[in-house]
């Protein structure tokens, strides 16, 4: 979903957080319906998605604070998913 929303295979986001997903737990996520779909420079999780959900994406960065002139692709995707669910 992240790739589709960004329209790119790679995207750069600012990350200013001292909390991270413990790398030891990443295989547990991958064994379930949770997928790490975005990673940092050292392979650390930055985006986690729930496969099969209409829209479930957790980020370890703040997409809503980055976009100034237009909505961030993830925020746009969330709004579109909500709009589809209420039709």
DSSP 25-56: GHHHHHHTTEEEEEE-TTS-EEEEEETTSSS-
Task: Measure the CA dihedral 11/61/63/85, to 10°.
Answer: 100
Q: Does the pLDDT value for residue 12 go beyond 70?
A: yes
Average pLDDT, integer, range 34-42: 90
pLDDT over threshold 80, residue 52: yes
Instruction: Report the candidate in 47, 79, 60 with the shortest Cα–Cα distance to residue 18.
Output: 60
Q: For residue 3, what are the β-bridge partners?
A: none
Tell me the pLDDT tens digit for each residue of 53-70.
989 999 988 887 776 788
pTM for the model stands at 0.84
The pLDDT assigned to 18 comes to: 77
């Amino acid at each position: 979903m992240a790739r589709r929303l960004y329209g790119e295979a790679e995207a750069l986001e600012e990350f200013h957080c001292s909390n991270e997903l413990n790398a030891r737990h990443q295989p547990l996520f991958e064994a379930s319906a949770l997928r790490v779909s975005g990673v940092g420079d050292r392979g650390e999780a930055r985006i986690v998605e729930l496969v099969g959900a209409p829209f479930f994406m957790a980020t370890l960065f703040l997409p809503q604070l980055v976009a100034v002139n237009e909505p961030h692709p993830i925020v746009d995707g969330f709004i579109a998913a909500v709009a589809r669910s209420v039709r």
